[in-house]
């Protein structure tokens, strides 16, 4: 067996995890879910969930990964007995499905970058422009280009591929987004936009909690790359026993700050162009933001910078999703990294073709893939792993968390009890609501 690589530096690990966390989720979903669910009301629930379930579950994944030094399937085979040995499969299947459509959507982002460079954003016909972008051969081509970029990076391995690339990508994302936020602050109407984004209407939360809670929880999971084994896999390459809680807190802080900054860009841009955030849903970022960029002076070039940044963020996430599945093939089947990565890239490209080609013209392929993977598989994976670590394997997990933390005191037990009850209860409720929502979406799609 080949010697397992480790991260060259601690910063490398943190940047890779931040790169994974910051992606389409922060940009494509976040502002629009926020605007759908009453702006700041959503933000409050989201922040609470990040702390109450995101952070503990991230540590659950870290302890499993660092303890076993294996991919998610191998890790659970090593730790668990009986059915627990099978839980890792959910992660690998979720990763495979997510990557297939994530790449298709990232291809659309590339197309919007090019449209900006050509100063071609449609204003009145933005919806039609989006549907044209999101289907047909151009979409298949950009899906292929994006997937190829992912394959090249992952094929180079942990240190020379993932670590080197995130050292460039993550600082670039941060700089570009901060620059765009400064630009957005100069736009007319920025103050009103911030107000909508930042003043919570608590009655909205009380009235709509059955919608806000599952949406915010699924978002908290997706944005932190939880529930599909990325954090297990990345922690499995940790060579030394560092303080997992500290690293987790840094990762979480960056991810949240970046999602927040994106809102500071999106809402003023929309406001300045007098464009309503629009129907949320998969097309929102493309339709309403590109229309807004189409209205503003120099909007083409600024839009190109914005979508270019989104593309970099998507790439730094996509490599982590792919690495989960690649590490499984390497660890469990002894496949070499390069053929494993290339073969998987081709397979994921093929599975994503229906989303990229978009024959339906109404994004139903995307809704079917995303509802299943993001709404159900991620939450289910996170739930089962939390039950396992909280109730079955808690001894090893406490021991692992304690390594590298000099004065853990009662924090270890606090964490464990958070995982044992609140995390599990919330995830159960969210899973039930998401299954129900998915069922409704499917019936609506097939009835219509
Ligand atoms: N966190 C990424 C995002 O916000 C998506 C992702 C989900 C990446 C699951 C890895 C695993 O876009």
pLDDT in tens, 94-108: 999 999 999 999 999
Ligand 1 geometric centre to CA of 267 (Å): 23
Judge whether 146 and 101 are in contact, CB under 8 Å. Answer: no
From the number of C-beta atoms within 10 Å of its C-beta (0-12, 13-18, 19+), residue 141 rates as middle
Instruction: Note the pLDDT tens digit of each residue in 273-304.
Output: 998 766 656 677 789 899 999 999 999 999 99
- 306-310 long-range contacts, Cβ below 8 Å, gap at least 24? 306/116, 306/180, 306/265, 307/109, 307/110, 307/112, 307/113, 307/116, 308/113, 308/176, 309/172, 309/173, 309/176, 309/177, 309/180, 310/24, 310/27, 310/28, 310/109, 310/285
Calpha distance 148→171 (Å, rounded): 23
The answer for residues whose C-beta is within 8 angstroms of residue 25's C-beta and 6 or more apart is: 219, 222, 223, 259, 317
Calpha distance 121→419 (Å, rounded): 46
Q: Would you say residue 46 has pLDDT above 70? A: yes
Which of 186, 195, 103, 114 minimizes the C-alpha distance to 140? 103
Counting from 1 in the atom list of ligand 1, the atom nearest the Cα of 227 is 9
The answer for residues whose C-beta is within 8 angstroms of residue 231's C-beta and 6 or more apart is: 17, 58, 61, 62, 65, 224, 225
Counting from 1 in the atom list of ligand 1, the atom nearest the Cα of 26 is 4
From the number of C-beta atoms within 10 Å of its C-beta (0-12, 13-18, 19+), residue 182 rates as exposed
* Cα angle for residues 161, 166, 171 (degrees, 5° grid): 155
Q: What is the DSSP string of 100-118?
A: HHHHHHHHHHHHHHHHHHT
Q: What is the DSSP string of 231-250?
A: HHHHHHT--S---HHHHHHH
Pick from 18, 223, 285, 318 the residue to mutate for probing ligand 1's pocket: most ligand atoms within 8 Å of its CB. Answer: 223
How crowded is the C-beta side of 165, counted as CA atoms within 13 Å? 25
DSSP alpha helices (H): ranges in 50-162?
55-68, 72-79, 88-117, 126-133, 136-155, 157
Instruction: Note the pLDDT tens digit of each residue in 422-448.
Output: 999 999 998 998 899 899 989 988 886
Ligand 1 geometric centre to CA of 371 (Å): 14
Per-residue pLDDT band for 27 (boundaries 50, 70, 90) equals confident
N residues, the chain: 448
Ligand 1 geometric centre to CA of 98 (Å): 9
Q: Would you say residue 249 has pLDDT above 80? A: yes
Calpha distance 56→62 (Å, rounded): 10
Per-residue pLDDT band for 38 (boundaries 50, 70, 90) equals low
* Cα angle for residues 133, 104, 90 (degrees, 5° grid): 150
Ligand 1 geometric centre to CA of 219 (Å): 10
Q: Element (H or E) spanning 314, and its range?
A: helix 299-333
What are the two backbone dihedrals, phi and then psi, of residue 205, each rounded to the nearest 5 degrees?
A: -65, -45
Q: What is the pLDDT of residue 200?
A: 74
Counting from 1 in the atom list of ligand 1, the atom nearest the Cα of 224 is 1
Ligand 1 geometric centre to CA of 20 (Å): 6
Helix axes 40-49, 209-223, angle to 10 degrees: 60
Judge whether 400 and 177 are in contact, CB under 8 Å. Answer: no
How crowded is the C-beta side of 214, counted as CA atoms within 13 Å? 20
Per-residue pLDDT band for 220 (boundaries 50, 70, 90) equals confident
Closest residue CA from atom 7 of ligand 1: 225
CA gyration radius, the chain = 21
Pick from 17, 20, 61, 217 the residue to mutate for probing ligand 1's pocket: most ligand atoms within 8 Å of its CB. Answer: 20
User: What's the mean pLDDT in 121-140?
Assistant: 94
Closest residue CA from atom 10 of ligand 1: 225
Which of 435, 320, 325, 343 minimizes the C-alpha distance to 380? 435
Percent of residues, the chain, with pLDDT higher than 70: 96
Q: Which residues line ligand 1 (CB under 6 A)?
A: 20-21, 23-26, 98, 222-223, 225, 228, 230, 317, 320-321
Number of neighbours of residue 179 by Cβ within 10 angstroms:
14
Counting from 1 in the atom list of ligand 1, the atom nearest the Cα of 378 is 9
Ligand 1 geometric centre to CA of 105 (Å): 13
Calpha distance 160→12 (Å, rounded): 11
Chain center to CA of 55 = 15
User: What's the mean pLDDT in 131-139?
Assistant: 94
Ligand 1 geometric centre to CA of 268 (Å): 25
Closest residue CA from atom 9 of ligand 1: 225
Closest residue CA from atom 6 of ligand 1: 225
Lowest mean pLDDT among 132-141, 206-215, 268-277, 347-356: 206-215
Which of 328, 433, 389 minimizes the C-alpha distance to 80? 389
Per-residue pLDDT band for 160 (boundaries 50, 70, 90) equals very high
Q: Element (H or E) spanning 166, and its range?
A: helix 164-185
Q: Would you say residue 1 has pLDDT above 90? A: no
**DSSP 8-state secondary structure symbol assigned to residue 4:** P
**DSSP 8-state secondary structure symbol assigned to residue 227:** S
Lowest mean pLDDT among 73-82, 154-163, 249-258, 366-375: 366-375
Pick from 65, 220, 225, 262 the residue to mutate for probing ligand 1's pocket: most ligand atoms within 8 Å of its CB. Answer: 225
DSSP alpha helices (H): ranges in 186-276?
190-198, 202-207, 209-223, 230-236, 244-272
Ligand 1 geometric centre to CA of 240 (Å): 25
Ligand 1 geometric centre to CA of 233 (Å): 14
Pick from 170, 321, 369 the residue to mutate for probing ligand 1's pocket: most ligand atoms within 8 Å of its CB. Answer: 321
């Amino acid at each position: 067996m080949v010697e397992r690589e480790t991260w060259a530096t601690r910063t490398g690990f943190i940047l890779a995890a931040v790169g994974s966390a910051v992606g389409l989720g922060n940009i494509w979903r976040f502002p629009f879910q926020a605007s759908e669910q009453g702006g700041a009301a959503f933000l409050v629930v989201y922040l609470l969930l990040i702390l109450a379930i995101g952070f503990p579950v991230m540590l659950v994944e870290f302890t499993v990964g660092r303890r076993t030094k294996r991919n998610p399937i191998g890790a659970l085979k090593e730790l668990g007995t009986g059915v627990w040995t099978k839980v890792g499969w959910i992660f690998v299947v979720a990763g495979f499905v997510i990557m297939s459509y994530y790449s298709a959507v990232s291809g659309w982002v590339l197309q919007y970058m090019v449209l900006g460079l050509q100063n071609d954003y449609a204003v009145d016909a933005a919806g039609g422009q989006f549907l044209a972008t999101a289907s047909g051969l151009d979409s298949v081509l950009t899906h292929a280009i994006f997937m190829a970029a992912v394959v090249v990076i992952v094929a180079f391995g942990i240190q020379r591929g993932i670590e080197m690339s995130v050292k460039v990508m993550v600082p670039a994302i941060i700089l570009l987004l901060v620059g765009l936020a400064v630009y957005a602050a100069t736009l007319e109407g920025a103050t009103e936009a911030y107000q909508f984004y930042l003043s919570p209407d608590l009655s909205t939360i009380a009235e709509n909690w059955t919608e806000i809670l599952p949406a915010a929880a699924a978002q908290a999971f997706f944005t932190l790359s939880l529930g599909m084994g990325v954090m297990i896999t990345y922690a499995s390459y940790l060579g030394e026993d560092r303080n997992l809680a500290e690293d987790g807190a840094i990762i979480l802080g960056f991810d949240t700050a970046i999602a927040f900054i994106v809102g500071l860009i999106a809402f003023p841009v929309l406001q300045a162009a007098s464009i309503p955030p629009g129907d949320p849903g998969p097309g929102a970022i493309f339709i309403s933001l590109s229309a807004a960029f189409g209205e503003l002076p120099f909007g083409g070039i600024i839009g190109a910078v914005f979508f270019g940044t989104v593309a970099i963020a998507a790439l730094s996430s996509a490599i982590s999703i792919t690495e989960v599945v690649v590490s499984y093939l390497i660890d469990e089947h002894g496949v070499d990294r390069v053929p494993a990565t290339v073969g998987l890239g081709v397979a994921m490209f093929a599975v994503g073709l229906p989303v990229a080609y978009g024959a339906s013209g109404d994004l139903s392929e995307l809704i079917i893939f995303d509802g299943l993977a993001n709404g159900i598989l991620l939450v289910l994976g996170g739930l089962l792993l939390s039950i396992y670590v909280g109730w079955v394997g808690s001894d090893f997990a406490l021991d692992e968390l304690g390594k590298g933390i000099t004065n853990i005191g009662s924090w270890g037990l606090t964490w464990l009890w958070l995982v044992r009850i609140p995390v599990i209860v919330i995830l159960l409720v969210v899973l039930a609501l998401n299954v129900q929502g998915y069922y409704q979406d499917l019936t609506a799609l097939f009835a219509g």
